[in-house]
């Protein structure tokens, strides 16, 4: 169940990171509220997942999925660069996450 919590926390991390962009420096009230709520939920689920996983693994997977998801969202919705080398390194993050999952209890 801990891995499910980390996955849920990671999805909420992508949500709050993207929410920061839409909040326009916390000038957009709806986006700001969304950002704060998803930030809290992300931390809550991270804490739940970290109860039974090494904190270094839980945190690395949480941030890795969050970074990957946020970057992919940026590519599709904010017209961010999608050069081959950038995409390659995004997949390196995924390989690292899989490696951490495979070598953890």
Q: What is the mean pLDDT of residues 3-27?
A: 97
Cα dihedral value 26, 28, 42, 72, nearest 10: -100
29: how many CB neighbours lie within 10 A of its CB?
Answer: 9
pLDDT at 105 over 90: no
User: What's the predicted TM-score (pTM) here?
Assistant: 0.90
The 10s digit of each residue's pLDDT in 3-13 is 999 999 999 99
Q: What is the mean pLDDT of residues 22-44?
A: 97
Give the separation between CA 22 and CA 20, rounded to whole angstroms.
5
Please, where are the H alpha helices in the chain? Answer: 2-23, 29-50, 55-77, 84-102
Give the separation between CA 102 and CA 56, rounded to whole angstroms.
14
The 10s digit of each residue's pLDDT in 39-96 is 999 999 999 999 999 999 999 999 999 999 999 999 999 999 999 999 999 999 999 9
Provide the pLDDT for residue 104.
Answer: 82
């Amino acid at each position: 169940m801990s891995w499910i919590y980390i996955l849920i926390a990671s999805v909420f991390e992508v949500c709050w990171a993207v929410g920061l962009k839409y909040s326009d420096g916390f000038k957009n009230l709806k986006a700001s509220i969304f950002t704060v709520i998803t930030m809290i939920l992300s931390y809550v689920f991270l804490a739940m997942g970290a109860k039974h996983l090494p904190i270094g693994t839980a945190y690395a997977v949480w941030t890795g999925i969050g970074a990957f998801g946020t970057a992919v969202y940026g590519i599709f919705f904010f017209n961010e660069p999608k050069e081959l080398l950038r995409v390659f390194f995004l997949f390196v993050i995924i390989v690292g996450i899989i490696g951490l999952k495979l070598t953890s209890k």
